[in-house]
Amino acid sequence: MEETQQAITESQGEKPKFDKKLIGIIALCVFVIGAGIAVVIAIISGAQTVSTGVDGIEITSGGTYTISDDISSGSVIVRADGADVNLVLDGVSIKNASGPAIFIESAGDVTIELKGENKITATATKDYNGAIYSKSDLILSGDGSLEISSTIDGIVSKDDLKIDDGTFIVNAKDEGIVGKDSITINGGDLTITATNGHGLKTSNEEKKGDMEIAGGKISINSGTDGLHSIANIRISDGVITISAGDDGIHADSTVTIDGGTINVVKSYEGIEGGEISVNNGDIKVVASDDGLNAAGGSDNTKSKASSFSGDTSKAITIAGGNVYVDASGDGIDSNGNIYISGGTTYVDGPTNNGNGAMDYGDGGCEFVITGGTLVAVGSSGMAVNATSAEQVSVLMNLSGSYSGALSFGTINYTPSKTYNSVLISSPELNIGDSYTLTIGEKKIQTTTITNSITNTGTAGMTPGMGQGRQGGMR
């Protein structure tokens, strides 16, 4: 230690940077930074080469490394061509004013394991735009926490990114977390603020680009989309809360929800994809435009589909789960088909006659109900019923506007806004029976069900024409 301290002290007039072969379990390097002292401890399996200095440390071989004290002006750089590296952050603070705090330039698979409370702060650059920037596959895990502050993006992997556990607080001016090839989240607690960008994003246009969430707790406040994939998004578990400046959840291809709890508290469009499939889970969406929107193209176009266009190969499918939509535009809007075969779906649709609680495409597209419970309320101007149904589906367009709880047979629901159109489909309704619509304490009308598809009151849109007025995915 005396030789190490002496060598550093003697070079205080220069930029202290040296290479030292570390053999054994623990090596302790102390170096002077300005008027303060930074201590770096590396726990190494086998013989490794580490470069240290005021600009941080450089790792050039595979192995496990523990950083357990602060780097106040510099970064951790990994240049370990083809070798796997396990980097343990153990109660450390890393600050870099001219690039990433952790820069993985070359390696095999890299794991960052969290122990204790950790914090990194970075002034990212155009070329290396993340506080953590990796050109290799990146895995994040551990029982500790990591707080990230970045002038551009929070965490960036140019390959696959996986989060198994750990607590992450990400504050980024642009994107929160980016996995170019893919993002997989199996657990952890993520709080992401992406001021001008997406919360979670995949972006590989040539291959992959999928996002999968199988667990964890995720809270996102984003300037654009909360979750954004250039390919597919699949959610099977986890608790997700999103406040987004644009879409809550967006996939250029397919959004599939097999489970979990999703709460989009603010969005322009709640869930948007080439196709949307809901098989299970609890989903709540609040949108200033459409709640669920499908089959309109890429989010990058930012333009509506051409008038009266429809794609019969695309669909919004609800086969299970609990879905609630509060939308100022269309509640559930498909430029293709709508298929409901199970689950419970409640829609608080628009109060203006330029949108409808349910909306499907023109040109042979269909709205088919074979099961489940659907209650969709809103304005009557663009209201539509199903095109075919294996259970009763009744559309009631009312002469006046109402607010408050409604009941129809065994169906009870309290909309959040005024409405003059009510669409109800349920296996508990029977052809030949009569049911009274009651709103509050007032009996509004009694309807006798004559067919599986029954309409009363002033007609809304001709089936299949709703999509033409509004277009589709931006």
Angstrom CA distances, 465 to 46, 203, 336, stand at 70, 34, 11
What's the burial of 6, exposed, middle or buried (CB within 10 Å: 0-12/13-18/19+)? exposed
Cβ-contact 363, 472 below 8 angstroms: no
Rounded Cα–Cα distance for residues 324 and 292 (Å): 10
Tokens representing 294? 């499908």
Rounded Cα–Cα distance for residues 254 and 295 (Å): 9
pLDDT tens digits, one per residue of 411-466:
999 999 999 999 999 999 999 999 999 999 999 999 999 999 999 997 555 444 44
Cα dihedral 232/236/237/239 (nearest 10): 40
Rounded Cα–Cα distance for residues 331 and 376 (Å): 8
* Residue in the block written with tokens 């551990």: 142
Angstrom CA distances, 379 to 331, 332, 396, 460, stand at 11, 14, 11, 9
Cβ-contact 330, 323 below 8 angstroms: no
Give the list of residues 6+ apart from residue 407 with CB closer than 8 angstroms, or none.
413, 437, 438
Rounded Cα–Cα distance for residues 359 and 271 (Å): 15
Residues with pLDDT less than 70, the chain:
1-55, 205, 207, 296-309, 459-474
Could you give the angle at the alpha carbon of 272 between the alpha carbons of 292 and 385, nearest 5°? Answer: 30
Q: How many residues can be counted in the chain? A: 474
Run of H or E including 171: strand 167-172
Tokens representing 391? 């259970």
> Which DSSP string corresponds to 229-252?
ESS-EEEEEEEEEEEESS-SEEEE
Give the list of residues 6+ apart from residue 201 with CB closer than 8 angstroms, or none.
175, 176, 177, 178, 179, 183, 225, 227, 228, 229
Tokens representing 427? 């296996």
3-state percent breakdown (helix, strand, coil) of the chain, nearest 5: 5, 55, 45
The tally of CA atoms less than 13 A away on the side-chain side of residue 447 is 28
Rounded Cα–Cα distance for residues 133 and 305 (Å): 37
User: Side chain identity at 253, as an amino acid letter?
Assistant: S
Rounded Cα–Cα distance for residues 5 and 210 (Å): 50
Cβ-contact 110, 89 below 8 angstroms: no
List the one residue out of 342, 329, 346 whose CA is nearest residue 247. 329
* Residue in the block written with tokens 């106040």: 72
Which pLDDT does position 396 carry in this prediction? 97
Which pLDDT does position 309 carry in this prediction? 63
Q: Please give, one letter per residue, the 3-state secondary structure of 355-398.
A: CCCEECCCCCCCEEECCCEEEEEECCCCCCCCCEECCEEEEEEE
Tokens representing 50? 């580490």
* Residue in the block written with tokens 């040539």: 206
Tokens representing 369? 């109900």
For the chain, the structural domain boundaries read 1-114+131-138, 297-327+336-474
Rounded Cα–Cα distance for residues 398 and 414 (Å): 17
Angstrom CA distances, 276 to 249, 357, 394, 403, stand at 11, 17, 24, 30
Going by the DSSP 8-state scheme, the letter that residue 70 receives in this structure is -
List the one residue out of 310, 358, 359 whose CA is nearest residue 335. 310
Rounded Cα–Cα distance for residues 444 and 440 (Å): 10
User: Side chain identity at 217, as an amino acid letter?
Assistant: K
Give the list of residues 6+ apart from residue 206 with CB closer than 8 angstroms, or none.
none
List the one residue out of 332, 360, 328, 361 whose CA is nearest residue 346. 332
